[in-house]
């Protein structure tokens, strides 16, 4: 069981990893959700599991509960973002740190009552690091699939739980989607989404 003021599990500027078999709930309690006045830089990126500028990571078989709690934070589930982090000079050839080749699959994710439309998962920010390799190329290798989502109160849903990077070489627009729209983008073809009426 992980409980932290910041991300429950934070994998940053790194390479291959498997994050599996964890139970996560109550993390990020210090930080408000995206666009709700949370302290920089964590105001939109803090998740129960957060991947930052990392590649070849598999997130699977975790039980994740997103609970707003009395502090008004704890809104993100499994989130990813990319910053400009340069090159790992310990490798030969040198490898640029990127957000790519990551899979989030077969997790159980529950959004507790009281999320009020601020729930988030997906890609929160994507900054290009090379003019020759745009984010579309990297995004093709990032997948969410086979995850089971439960929203305890459908009134909290809003229409933008699933965030994804869109448009242009530097990805100027990141937009929220419904579950159906997320599937139309090629994600969660084997996932389920259940919104209950409290």
Domain ranges of the chain: 9-195
Answer for the pair 27, 6: CB distance below 8 angstroms, yes or no. yes
Q: Tell me the H-state helices in 12-145.
A: 135-139
pLDDT at res. 128: 60
Q: What is the pLDDT of residue 37?
A: 46
Give pLDDT tens digits for 78-125. Answer: 988 887 777 777 776 677 788 889 999 999 999 888 766 566 788 877
Q: In what order do the strands lie in the sheet with 17-20?
A: 17-20, 57-60, 102-105, 142-145
Q: Looking at residue 36, what is its pLDDT?
A: 47
Torsion angle of the four alpha carbons 156, 82, 189, 101, in this order, in degrees rounded to the nearest 10: -150
pLDDT of residue 152: 87
Q: In what order do the strands lie in the sheet with 192-195?
A: 23-25, 63-66, 108-111, 148-151, 192-195
Mean predicted confidence (pLDDT) in 19-46? 67
How many CB atoms neighbour CB 54 within 10 A? 24
Query: What is the C-alpha to C-alpha distance for residues 168 and 61, in angstroms, rounded to an integer?
Result: 34
Q: Residue holding tokens 């229409």?
A: 159
Inter-residue contact 85 to 45 (CB < 8 Å): no
**Neighbour count for residue 3 (Cβ, 10 Å):** 10
pLDDT of residue 186: 87
Which pLDDT value is given to residue 197? 79
User: Which has more confidence, 33 or 144?
Assistant: 144
Do residues 59 and 107 make contact, with C-beta atoms less than 8 angstroms apart? yes
Residues ≥6 apart with Cβ < 8 Å to 90: none
pLDDT grade for 144, boundaries at 50, 70 and 90: very high
Mean pLDDT of the chain: 78
Q: Which residues partner with 17 through β-bridges?
A: 57
Q: Quote the pLDDT of residue 34.
A: 44
Residue 21 or residue 127, greater confidence: 21
**What mean pLDDT is predicted for residues 145-163?**
83
Mean pLDDT, rounded, for 13-23: 94
* pLDDT confidence band for 75 (50 / 70 / 90): low
- Are 123 and 164 within 8 A, CB to CB? yes
């Amino acid at each position: 069981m992980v409980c932290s003021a910041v991300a429950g599990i934070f994998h940053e500027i790194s390479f291959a990893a498997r994050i599996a078999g964890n139970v996560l709930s109550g993390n990020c309690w210090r930080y408000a959700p995206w666009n709700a006045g949370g302290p920089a830089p964590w105001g939109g990126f803090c998740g129960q599991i957060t991947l930052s500028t990392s590649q070849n990571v598999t997130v699977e078989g975790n039980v994740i509960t997103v609970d707003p709690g009395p502090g008004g934070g704890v809104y993100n589930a499994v989130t990813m973002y990319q910053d400009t982090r340069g090159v790992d000079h310990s490798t030969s050839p040198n490898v640029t740190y990127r957000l790519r080749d990551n899979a989030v699959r077969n997790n159980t994710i529950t959004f507790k009552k009281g999320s009020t439309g601020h729930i988030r998962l997906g890609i929160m920010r994507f900054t290009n690091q090379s003019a020759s390799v745009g984010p579309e190329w990297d995004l093709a290798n990032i997948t969410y699939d086979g995850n089971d989502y439960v929203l305890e109160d459908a009134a909290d849903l809003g229409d933008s739980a699933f965030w994804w990077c869109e448009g242009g070489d530097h990805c100027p627009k990141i937009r929220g989607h419904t579950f159906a729209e997320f599937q139309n983008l090629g994600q969660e073809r084997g996932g389920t989404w259940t919104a209950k009426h409290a």
